[in-house]
Chain A
Amino acid sequence: MAEQQEKIFQDKVDHEIRIEPKDWMPDQYRKTLIRQMSQHAHSEIVGMLPEGNWITRAPSLRRKATLIAKVQDEAGHGLYLYSAAETLGISRAEMIDQLHSGKTKYSSIFNYPTLTWADIGAIGWLVDGAAIMNQVPLCRASYGPYARAMIRICKEESFHQRQGFEILLTLSKGSEEQKRMCQDAIDRWWWPAVMMFGPNDESSPHTKQSVAWKIKRFTNDELRQKFIDVCAEQVHILGMKIPDPDLKWNEQTKHYDFGAINWDEFWNVVNGNGPCNKERLAARIKAHEEGAWVREAAIAYAEKKKRKEKVIA
């Protein structure tokens, strides 16, 4: 029986038929999706913090408005993703508890600080750029609710990426200090962005199964290479440098070669020892705890209202 179900499931996947919430699915598929989707949702929510850090200091009214809108979009993405994950039988409250207890992770990139206004541009260009590389294939993920959420998200992300690049472009044409700010931000965000694709394929335990299930379409290294190829060209428009002396075009592979990634730093940040891990999590926990009485009041009022309506009816 189970074997037959598994076969039907894999046939659907192989024929690009979306798996929907009520369909049978292997436990491990469900678990993998819950892990990936909740991590993704958490990343959106934690990702609001480093950018939110510059809302009150945005250097013009136009930038302030676009930054508020952008961070608000991230909250919206978090909502879609939590809702999509809830179709797999886990509640938003449970997922949030798992974030706060450290059981589920979020993207390590958000454990780096935003030190100047240029960081807002670099996050848009590099971090959103890397996210898009990861996410566009997810629009075809085998799980229907995830794929549909990703379609909406990707549209907004590519808009964010263009905005980020435009911030850097403006800085790159500005004063000496603005140029310095621009290069400094690229220097600090480049390698963490390259690491966003995760460990090399040979040390990525989930990749093979996820590809077979069509949750993933490309491996970490394939996506990373694609990202580097694109950025290596775009950086010329900015007249800036990518902080990798080994970055150079390889005529044979038709790709850019790049230098060694510092995996010690990667694992160090994943394991909680990055520059802002503690602050980010503490900020989320604080918002949640300080919001508890608000949520309780909203529930209490809704129940009172329901009772009153019953009496009237």
Chain B
Amino acid sequence: MPVNISTYQPFNLSLHLADNALILGHRNSEWTGHGPILEQDIAISNIALDLVGQARNFYQYAAKLMNESSVDGKENITEDTLAYHRDAWDFKNCLLVEQTNGDWAKTILRQFFFSLYQFYLYEQLQNSKDSTIAAISEKALKEVTYHVKWSSEWVIRLGDGTNESHERILKALDDLWKFTEELFIPADYELEAANKHVGIDPSLLKSKWFQKVIEIFEEATIPIDNLSGLHSIGFYGKEGKHSEHLGYILAEMQFVQRAYPNCEW
């Protein structure tokens, strides 16, 4: 009996996890060839590659679920259908990952916030009752452990580097802090997935995440007095309500597929 895909938790959760990883991977790949130091150009491209890889795993799983759920069994959804043929309102990524790269400080801080969140999330999801989600999370956790290390080292280096780098990281914090709360406000599909032990309620990760951020900020000499709590802007990418940036990301990313439909590439 085919499942109703639109309410099937592993499907929606996979799509959400894939969208997060793809959009940040895409953003990071904008640095490729333009990094501040050759070694760091390689590092940020490597993280982009890891994230695109995670996205592909989750999209492939979501596509498989969709194909299995089709009534006549004739659907041929692929990872690319999901990445290239949905518009912004169907994307379930959080607002943080679609924000512009800005300078190196903003890119670093965005990566640190997101990787740390992904770290605690995948740590839990590797015990998901859905064995595919568990397996992808377990593999991704190894990559994300490195992303957390790399980005937190850079947060410390910039925070405690020169006056200029300190100022720039503060500016980045001012730009990005308002996107942190969303990570921990569960969307309906996250709660439903948590109820079925497929996913987890992300609000449970919040205090661990916040504590670690404070710890790194203290080492980075970034003042924490103003960080009374996490902030949001009142609407959520997770629920398909995005900032203006996502439309442009998709316009660029999807251009070839849209201009020349039904082709193999």
CB within 8 Å of B: which residues of A? 45, 48-49, 52, 55-65, 68-69, 71-72, 75-76, 78-79, 82, 117, 170-171, 173-175, 177-178, 283, 286-287, 290-298, 300-301, 304
Contact = CB atoms under 8 A, between A and B. Distances in A.
Contacts of A286: 34
B263 A174 contact: yes
Given A56-B26, A297-B164, A61 B79 contact: yes
21 contacts: A48-B32, A49-B33, A52-B34, A56-B26, A57-B256, A60-B80, A61-B55, A61-B59, A64-B29, A65-B53, A72-B45, A75-B33, A82-B38, A170-B264, A175-B260, A178-B263, A287-B33, A287-B36, A291-B35, A291-B104, A301-B160
A79 B42 contact: yes
B103 interface: yes
B48 interface: yes
B90 interface: no
B30 A56 contact: yes
A292 B162 CA distance: 12
A308 to B, nearest CB: 10
A41 B265 CA distance: 31
B252 interface: yes
Contacts, number: 137
B52 A75 contact: no
A290 B157 CA distance: 17
B157 A75 contact: no
A46 to B, nearest CB: 9
B258 to A, nearest CB: 10
Given A61-B80, A64-B29, 12 more contacts: A60-B265, A65-B49, A71-B32, A71-B33, A175-B262, A175-B263, A287-B33, A293-B162, A293-B164, A297-B164, A300-B165, A301-B157
Interface of B: 22, 26, 29-30, 32-42, 45-46, 48-49, 52-53, 55-56, 59, 79-80, 83-84, 103-104, 156-158, 160-162, 164-165, 168, 252-253, 255-257, 260, 262-265
Contacts of B48: 68
Nearest to B249: A56
A298 B37 CA distance: 10
Contact of B32 (A52, A65, A117): A52
Contacts of B32: 48, 52, 55, 68, 71-72, 75
Nearest to A298: B157
Contacts of A296: 161-162, 164-165
A69 B49 CA distance: 7
Nearest to A71: B32
Contacts of A178: 260, 263
B42 A174 contact: no
B48 to A, nearest CB: 6
Contacts of A58: 256
Contacts of B45: 68, 71-72, 75
Contacts of B84: 59-60
A159 to B, nearest CB: 15
Nearest to A49: B33
Contacts of A61: 22, 52, 55-56, 59, 79-80, 83
A184 to B, nearest CB: 14
Contact of B36 (A45, A72, A290): A290
Given A56-B29, A56-B252, A290-B36, A72 B42 contact: yes
A75 B26 CA distance: 18
A55 B29 contact: yes
Contact of B161 (A171, A292, A301): A301
Contacts of B253: 56-57
A291 B265 contact: no
